[in-house]
């Protein structure tokens, strides 16, 4: 099996930043859920996200239309039906995380277990080539990484960092 090229350092920074932003987002959604409900937190979070996306798209559209002039239009790309499930899974994530953060797990325990779930599903997606990903064979390093992540999650939760 040919090896894939090593990613640039900027991708490591982007992934790390995304993880930090997800932790902040999880906490803020949990605060909204504490004063309302997990469903309200999901609606509020996705409503604000929709408004932000519209503003960004409008900015990019006006910026792009002024710079392009008479450039040819890009051809339409068909998104697979399952591509839209990201919105459904995002809403479910907000509800589940809001419940978990507002429990004795607290933010650290919820994030640690969430990371474990992300890695487990990602490995399954890699193994079976789910959602159009290239299939890749898992090895002992992959499985040991999951064991270490789950063991770290247990340590975070049991060490008192996740007590109410």
The answer to whether the pTM exceeds 0.85 is no
Could you state, in order of their start, the residue ranges of all structural domains in the chain? 11-60+86-103, 106-163
* Alpha carbon distances (Å) from 45 to 93, 108, 111, 136: 11, 20, 18, 35
pLDDT digits (tens, 9 = 90+) for 129-151: 999 999 999 999 999 999 999 99
Calculate what percentage of the chain has a pLDDT beyond 90: 63
pLDDT value, residue 70: 55
Look at residue 6 in the predicted model and tell me its pLDDT.
Answer: 81
> According to the model, what pLDDT value does residue 162 have?
45
Smallest Cα–Cα separation from 4: which of 131, 121, 137? 137
Find the range with the poorest average confidence among 39-53, 55-69, 147-161.
55-69
Q: Kindly report, residue by residue over 78-112, the tens digit of the pLDDT.
A: 888 888 888 888 889 999 999 999 999 989 999 99
What single DSSP character describes residue 162? T
pLDDT at 51 > cutoff 90: yes
Buried b (16+ CB within 10 A) or exposed e, 119-134: beeebeebeeeeeeee
Percentage of residues in the chain having pLDDT higher than 70:
88
């Amino acid at each position: 099996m040919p090896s894939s090229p090593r990613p640039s350092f900027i991708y490591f920074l982007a992934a790390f930043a995304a993880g930090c932003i997800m932790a902040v987002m999880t906490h803020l959604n949990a605060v909204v859920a504490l004063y309302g409900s997990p469903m309200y937190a999901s609606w509020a979070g996705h409503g604000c996200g929709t408004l932000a996306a519209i503003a960004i798209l409008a900015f990019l559209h006006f910026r792009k239309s002024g710079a392009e002039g008479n450039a040819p239009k890009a051809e339409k790309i068909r998104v697979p039906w399952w591509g839209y499930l990201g919105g459904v899974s995002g809403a479910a994530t907000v509800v589940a995380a809001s419940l978990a953060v507002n429990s004795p797990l607290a933010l650290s325990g919820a994030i640690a277990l969430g990371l474990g779930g992300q890695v487990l599903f990602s490995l399954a997606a890699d193994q079976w080539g789910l959602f159009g990903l290239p299939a890749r064979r898992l090895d002992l390093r992959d499985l040991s990484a999951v064991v270490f992540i789950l063991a770290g999650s247990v340590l975070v939760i049991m060490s008192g960092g996740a007590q109410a």
